[in-house]
Structures are given as C-alpha cells and as structure tokens.
Structure 1
Amino acid sequence: MKIKLDSMSTRILIPVFGIIIILIGIQTWTAWQNANSEKERLIKRISSGHDRLMNEAQQIAKENLQLALALSAIDSVKEAVGLEDRERLIEIVTPIVKSIKSHSDRVLKVHFHLPPGRSFVRLWKLNKFGDDISGFRKTVVEVLQTGRPVYGIEAGRAGLAVRGVAPIFWGEDTKRPVGSVEVITSLNSVAKRISKISGEKNAIYGILKVKTTASAFDTKGQIGRFSTLLPPPKGVGEGLVDLSLLKSGIKRPVIKEVGNLLITASPLKDYKGEGIGVYVRFIDITGIKNRIQSAVKGALLTSFLGLLLAIGIIFVVVRVSLSRPLEQALGAMNEISSGKMDRVLPVEGASEIRDLMTS
C-alpha cells in the first residue's frame, strides 16, 4: 500500500491552523475590548461637561445677587421703594442699569417687588406692575419674609431664569424689608452663550409646576410633564429626546449613544436643590468612532500578517524537516524493495528523521 505523506503533513498542519485561528480570534477580541475601553474613556472625558450649565448658572446667580445688593444699598432707591414712588424709582435706576448693561455681554433684567409678593417695577416692561407673583415666585416671598438674600435658578413666566434677589430696608427697621430687587438672566441665554463659545449643541427641558409660568413654554414640544424651553438645533437630535431620557436625566447625569451621536442629560436644580429641568447636550462622536475603527483594523491587519508569516514559516519547517525527508525515504524504500540494494539515503531533516535514515 502506498503511503500518502501529504496526509501526514495535513494532519500536522490542521492543528497548527486551528491554534492560529484561535489566536486570531483572541487577538480580535482583545483589540475590540481595547477599542471599547478607549471609546468609553473618550466618551467619559467628552461628557464630563454635563454640569457646565449649572456651574455657569450658579456663578451668574452670584454676580446677579451682587448687583441686586448694590442696588438695594442706594439710599435714594431705598426711599423710593419705601414711599412706593414708582416714577422716582424708575428715574433713579434706569441710567444705572443702562450703564451696567453697557459693560456686560449678558442680557439683564431688573425687577422690584413689594410685600407680600407684588410686582412694583419691571424695568423692561414698565406698563406691567401691581400683579401678585407670590404664588410662583418663592425666592421673592422668601426674601420679603426673612430679609435674607437668595440666589439660584427659579421658574417664572418667562421660563427658567438665573436670579439674585436682595431685600431693601428703609428707615430704622432693619428686620422687615420694605421691598426687594432682583437681577435676572434667562437660563436659555446662558446655554446659548455656552453653545456660541464652545460650539456645544444643547437643549433645555423644564417641568411645568405652575400654570402661570406656561406662557414661555413650547407646548408643541411637550414630552410628558416636560416642556421644551430651548429646542435642539435644527437637524440635531430630532426625535431622540424621549420621556425616559428626561425622567432619568432629572435625577442624575445619563448618557445615551445613538449612531454617531452621544446624548447627555443632566439635572437642573433650583435655588433649593430641587429638580426643575433637564439640560441635554448632543455630541458628534463620528471622529472618535472612525479613529477606533482604524485602530482595530490596523491591529487586526498586523495580527493577520504576523500570523500569516508564522503559517509560512511553520509550513516551510514542516516541509523541510519532515515531509521532504520522508518522501525521500519512501522513494528509497521503493527502490530497495525493487532490488536496488545499493541505494543510500541522504541524511537530512529533523534529528529523528536523520536517525531513521542511518538505521
């Protein structure tokens, strides 16, 4: 029976190929895991700015409070509020506020109030006054009741705003305010400023707690109990912000990946630390994904070429050390069996094969 040496080579190489395939699989899995880890690190770094709006708002609220305290400390302002002289107050404050605005890039509004929570002077809307705001303007009520200043985010008729509210005292009574003054900055304007400076695409969603604050809310953009205060930029994140994301985002920062878009949602809290809205950002991670895919492809290509080289080396070694010497031995054995007793076998191949040749 003729011995098929090729089958022996095949039997040797098949396990080798199997091991190599397993190694390729391990290398692929490792490259994929490393790429995912790198992706998570990059995403975490990018999404770490989710609290930027709250930090900016808190800083602006402090600045607004400083302006409010400065206005409340002017003697003529104290007297005008104490005497409830609107014309006099407007005459005094208008040039001051105009000067402040000329040195600031923020849109500021100044509002004076009387106890227990009544609008006295809105410098941006002079013909509207005397309305009761105590039902939804808790910062004003608190300042008028306690005589202590307050700052932070609070909802109003114009949506969510960053406020600094200071009491106004007049005469000898330093415990009971005769009124209060607040400096206001729209939270939307803060988000837009961040977007302009950093190129960040964002949106704001607020909770409607009081009907009187509904005028500034986009009822068409209603998502459950959340209303759209600042809609996403056109063509970005359309239909991707759902109730589930907002419900989670008002409790804690969350991240949602949709295709090449990373969506972060983080809570907006009022001056008492209660959740009143959600800040949503839309981050394009196409570049990150492309870099990761390139890295994975490069790693796999390098592994494949390296393993292909290993296959070639193994094949040559098996061929030189085993297959060819055995083929020569088989040929010699056939010649000897046919009567050529003087046939000499070449001594080559692995040591075991050489021993076989000389035996």
Structure 2
Amino acid sequence: MKILSTQRQKVLYTTIFATLLMAGISAYSSILSQQASIDGCKQHEMDVAVSIIQSSLQSEMNNAASKASVVAHLPSIIDAFRAGNREQILARLLPAFLIQRDRYGVNEGQFHTAPATSFLRIYTPEAGHGEDLSSFREMVVNTNKEHAPKKGIEVGRAGISIRGVDLLKDADGYIGSFEVGMSFMTVLDYLKKNTGFEGGAFVDNELVSRVATLLPPPDAERIVAGLRNVEATDWNVLKTIVTPELLASVTGVKTVLKTVAGSDFGIVITPLQDYKGVGIGAIVAVKKFDVFQKESSAAVVRAIAFALLQVLVLAGIVLVMINIMFVRSASVQESSK
C-alpha cells in the first residue's frame, strides 16, 4: 500500500507539472497570437491614415486647379484683367470667394502678371500691388513661362497652400495667371473625420520665415526640429507626442507605435513635398490606441483564465483516472492475498 501511495504521488506530481506546462504554453501562444492580430489592426489603421493623407493632398491639388481654371476662363474677368481694373475683378469675385473661404477651405486667390508680379490678392486687395514674387514663387514663374497650368504645394507671402495656377488670355495673347490656394485644414479635418487621427502640417521654419512675411511670428513651442507647425486639428494633442527625434530626417513615410504616459499612440509621418518634389516638411497624424490597449489587456486575461480552466479540467480528469487505476490495483493486490 505504501508503494502504491508513493507511485500515486509521483504520477500526480508529474501530471500536474505536465498540465501546468501545457496550459502555460497554450496561454503564451494565445497571447502572442492575439497581440499579433492587434498589432496588425494598429498597422492597418496607420496605413489607412497614410493613404487618406496622400489621396487628399492630390484631391485638393485638383480642386485648386479646377477652381483656378474656372476663374481664368470667365470672359468678364479676362476683360477686367486686361484693362487692369482691380475694382471690377473684386466686385465679381470677392463675394463668391468669401463663401469659398468659409465653407471650402480656399485661403488664397491671386492674380499675377508675367513673370510673377502680384496684381491682386482677393482677400487682401490693398497688399502687394506690383511686388515681384519671382524669387520664390516658381509655380507662377513656370506657369507664365511655359504657358501651362500648374498644381502643387508652395509657400507664398500668406503661408503654405495647396495650389492651382492657370493662365488668362484673350485674342491679343496671354495676360497673366490666377491661382487658388487651399488650406491644409481641408486635408487634416477630412483625416480626423474618417480615421480619428489628429493631424498637423509641419513646414521648414526657415523657408516660411523668409517667404511668408504676412504671417505673424509663431509660438516657440510650434517649432520642432526646425519645422514649424502651420496648421493642426488639435495642437494640445500633437505637442505631447511630436518630438525632434520623430521629425528628424523625414525622407519617407514613417509609422510608429509609441507609449506616452501609459497610453499607446499610433503615429504617422508623411513627407511634404513642394510641386517640384523637394521635401519641405511633413504631415504628422497621431491617434490614441486606447481601444486596442484595452483589447490587449482583455486578451491576456482571457488567455490566463482559459489556461486555468484547462488546468482544472485536466487535473480533475487525471485525478479521477489515477484514483480508478490505483483503487483497482489495490483491490487486485488485496484479493491476491
């Protein structure tokens, strides 16, 4: 009987160890699998944000180009531009452009004579008449030089905009150009609405300071790694996440997972290029992944609970089998006596 009891203990301990080991492996594998799935969902959300940023930028370029084309082909505007009549142009365009600004993110409208001399700024009609912009407004210079519409991103006196430039001409030939500039907030607001990411546009501070002389000086906190935040959906969120390390050497799309104050964030950094393809900054988007964080914690709890359940069930089954085996063995030994 003593031998049977010792054998029973050895089998019991071995079984318990094996059961715990199997349950631990099962729980660990389950946690890894769940974490990989959650990480995949996070990456998918960041990839979607990148796609929306890039497609929205292109869409707004097309939007700006189409608006500029409409104005550039209005006969009454062509006649007034040829006559040098700023008052007539303003009377016809300003009411509509105020609506475009307030509803659709149009923040610039400007006429130029060749090569890039400011004739009229729709929103600031008293500013910059006759100013030569050719040293920094290459889109305008090339539009008038090549007699071909252009679209893209460029910094002007009033700041950075997503622009479209088109030509005005009549029977006597080319007169000049007209451009429409779209605010980056159209892109950032669309991003937030469709993905929940807070977004901000960051541009080379030296470039903006040198060219955008109509802008007020920025707050010091809005300059990060030499880039100035010019627009943002929520700066208070961005400033806690965006660091010089994140914005250093932005040469390609970057997606980062970062923990700040115990919370997980997804960060997307998309390079910002001017119409020539030269890097001038980045669009940064961040989102708090608290839902995924909670799901990850819940997955760990579920895996551990399931492992414990496995241990209890298997241990119960093994105990019953051990009891049956050793009871029968003891009965056989008793009967043989």
Q: TM-score range by the shorter chain?
A: 0.7 to 0.9
Structure 1 residue 196, shift from structure 2 partner? 5.2
AA at the equivalent of 1:302: F
In structure 2, give the amino acid aligned to 1:75: P
Provide, for residues 107-148 of structure 1, a one-character-per-residue CA deviation record: whole Å limited to 9, x for no partner: 443110112211110011011022222222121111011110
Name the CA shift for 1:196/1:117 in 2 (closer, same or farther; >3 Å). same
TM-score (norm 2): 0.85
Q: Where does residue 137 of structure 1 map in the other structure?
A: 137
Contact 1:254 1:264 in 2 (8 A): yes
- 1:315 lines up with 2:319 in the alignment: yes
**Which residue matches 1:223?**
224
Equivalent residue letter for 1:241:
V
Partner of 1:351: none
Q: Which residue of 1 aligns with 2:52?
A: 52
Aligned to 1:77: 77
Indicate whether 1:270 and 2:277 are aligned.
no
Task: Give the letter for the 1:26 counterpart.
Answer: I
- Aligned-pair RMSD on alpha carbons? 2.8
CA contact (8 A) 1:159 1:217 kept: no
For structure 2, list consecutive stretches of 5 or more residues without a partner in the other structure: none
1:244 maps to which residue? 245
The match for 1:342 is: none
Q: Which has the higher contact order (CA 8 A, sep 6+)?
A: 2
Could you tell me which amino acid in structure 2 is paired with residue 273 of structure 1?
Answer: G
Select the residue among 177, 184, 190 that pairs with 2:181.
184
Describe the shift of the 1:238–1:104 C-alpha distance in structure 2 as closer, same or farther (beyond 3 A).
closer
Q: Give how far 1:61 is off.
A: 2.0
Tell me by how many angstroms 1:326 deviates: 5.4
1:287-326 deviation digits (Å, cap 9, x = unpaired): 122123223322331232122211122122223212x455
* Number of residue equivalences: 328
Looking at structure 2, the residues matched to 109 and 11 of structure 1 have their Cα atoms a distance apart, in angstroms, of 84
How far does residue 189 in structure 1 lie from its aligned partner after superposition? 4.3
The letter for the 1-side match of 2:265 is: L
| Contact 1:219–1:228 (Cα < 8 Å) also in 2 | no
Q: 1:183 is paired with a residue of what secondary structure?
A: strand
Structure 1: where are the runs of 5+ without partners?
Answer: 333-344, 347-356
Task: Please show how residues 111-130 of structure 1 align to structure 2 within 5 Å.
Answer: 111-128=110-127, 129-130=129-130
Summarize the alignment of residues 21-40 of structure 1 with structure 2, pairs less than 5 Å apart.
21-40=20-39
Distance 2:8 2:268 in 1: 58
CA contact (8 A) 1:151 1:271 kept: yes
Query: Displacement, 1:90?
Result: 2.9
Alpha carbons of structure 1 residues 227 and 95: separation in structure 2 relative to 1, 3 Å:
closer
